[in-house]
């Protein structure tokens, strides 16, 4: 029973209180301040109440800062129960990286490629985590990709949401953080950005995996369009 081994490994030890406070301080205090005052991230509708219990956050992905910014909007009492889903092949490359991903980002590392999957399907692991009441942060594009362009979604979010019709999916649109920390750079140069939190989506039990994936993608795309329109000068105004 592969799923059981993973459960045991991941959850049997409760998240220690120390790490809980560390995560709270890191994200609700430190990163929130850095995003607000230094980087200049605009939070749009991020104060909207989150549903109680486990949640799947999904967002478009262009920068390493994306996961950090999403952790800052998670309610304080669930911060230690919220895990970014990150790639084993990239973040597990060195011991330092995997240590900091586990302790400082609270991430869960999964393998991306089919060939390198050992015994456990990542979906089984994530599914088990949701059942245990944990929240997940997913980047369904699977990679940071081209700045400002949204790639096709992988079907992982569809798999998870179809198994948990009671767990809401919160789409989040992130714009501009790729300017602050682009792919392949290590230096943060503050360039602003926007984080828009969308309304929670609930999918009835019989919705197909592809339909969920597509709807999730459309939700983020429409948020991107709304954001563009919101700050345009109305055409009646222009000369």
Partner 1 sequence: MNKLIEVWSVNAEVQWVIFIILCILVCSSVAWNVWNFLKPGGLVNELLVRTRSWWIMCACFVATTLAHPVVTVIGLAFLSFALLREMYPLLNLDQRERNVALLCYAVIPVQYALAYHGMTTLFLAFIPVFMFVAIPFMLVIRGETKGIVRSISLMPYSLVAWVYGMSHLAMLFNLPELPGFTAGPQGLLLYFIFLVGINDVLQFAWGKIIGQRAVLPNVSPNKTWEGLVGGVLSVTLIAVALRFLTPLETWEAAFTGFCVALAGFMGDAIASGIKRDLGIKNSGNAIPGHGGYLDRLDGFATAAAPFFHLIYFFGVTAAG
- Residues making contact with partner 1 (CB under 8 A): 37, 40, 42, 44, 176, 179, 182, 185, 187, 189-193, 231-233, 237-239
Q: Which residue, 12 or 231, is less far from partner 1 as judged by CB?
A: 231
Where are any strands of DSSP class E within 37-185? Answer: 41-44, 56-59, 82-87, 108-110, 135-138, 169-175
Query: Under 8 Å CB-to-CB from 102, ≥6 apart: which residues?
Result: 109
Distances in whole angstroms, Cα of residue 46 to Cα of each of 32, 74, 157, 211, 232: 12, 9, 21, 26, 21
Closest approach, Cβ 25 to partner 1, in A, equals 23
Read off the tokens for 99: 């240590």
Question: Closest Cα partner for 15 from 78, 99, 72, 109?
Answer: 78
Q: Which residue, 114 or 232, is less far from partner 1 as judged by CB?
A: 232
Q: In degrees to the nearest 10, what's the CA dihedral of 84, 85, 90, 93?
A: 80
Closest approach, Cβ 41 to partner 1, in A, equals 10
Read off the tokens for 129: 């985590």
- Is the Cβ–Cβ distance between 172 and 57 less than 8 Å? yes
Closest approach, Cβ 45 to partner 1, in A, equals 11
Q: Which residue, 20 or 179, is less far from partner 1 as judged by CB?
A: 179
Read off the tokens for 159: 């798999």
Closest approach, Cβ 172 to partner 1, in A, equals 17
Q: Which residue, 137 or 174, is less far from partner 1 as judged by CB?
A: 174
**How far is 4 from 124, CA to CA, in rounded Å?**
10
Q: Which residue, 4 or 185, is less far from partner 1 as judged by CB?
A: 185
Q: Which residue, 2 or 147, is less far from partner 1 as judged by CB?
A: 147
Closest approach, Cβ 94 to partner 1, in A, equals 26
Closest approach, Cβ 24 to partner 1, in A, equals 25
């Amino acid at each position: 029973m592969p799923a059981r081994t993973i459960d045991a490994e991941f959850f049997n030890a409760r998240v220690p209180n120390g790490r809980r406070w560390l995560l709270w301080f890191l994200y609700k205090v430190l990163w929130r301040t850095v995003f607000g005052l230094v980087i200049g991230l605009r939070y749009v509708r991020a104060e909207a109440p989150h549903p109680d219990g486990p949640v799947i956050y999904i967002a478009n992905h262009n920068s390493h800062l994306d996961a950090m910014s999403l952790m800052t909007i998670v309610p304080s009492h669930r911060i230690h129960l919220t895990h970014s889903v990150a790639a084993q092949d990239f973040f597990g490359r060195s011991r330092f990286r995997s240590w900091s991903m586990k302790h400082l980002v609270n991430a869960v590392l999964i393998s991306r490629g089919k060939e390198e999957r050992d015994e456990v399907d990542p979906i089984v692991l994530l599914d088990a985590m949701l059942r245990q009441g944990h929240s997940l942060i997913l980047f369904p594009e699977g990679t940071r990709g081209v700045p400002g362009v949204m790639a096709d979604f992988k079907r992982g979010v569809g798999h998870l949401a179809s198994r948990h019709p009671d767990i809401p999916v919160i789409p989040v649109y992130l714009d501009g953080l790729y300017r602050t920390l682009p792919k392949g750079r290590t230096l943060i140069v503050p360039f602003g950005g926007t984080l828009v939190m969308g309304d929670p989506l609930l999918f009835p039990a019989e919705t197909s995996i592809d339909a969920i994936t597509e709807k999730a993608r459309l939700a983020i795309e429409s948020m991107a369009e709304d954001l563009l329109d919101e700050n345009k000068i109305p055409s009646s105004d222009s000369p």
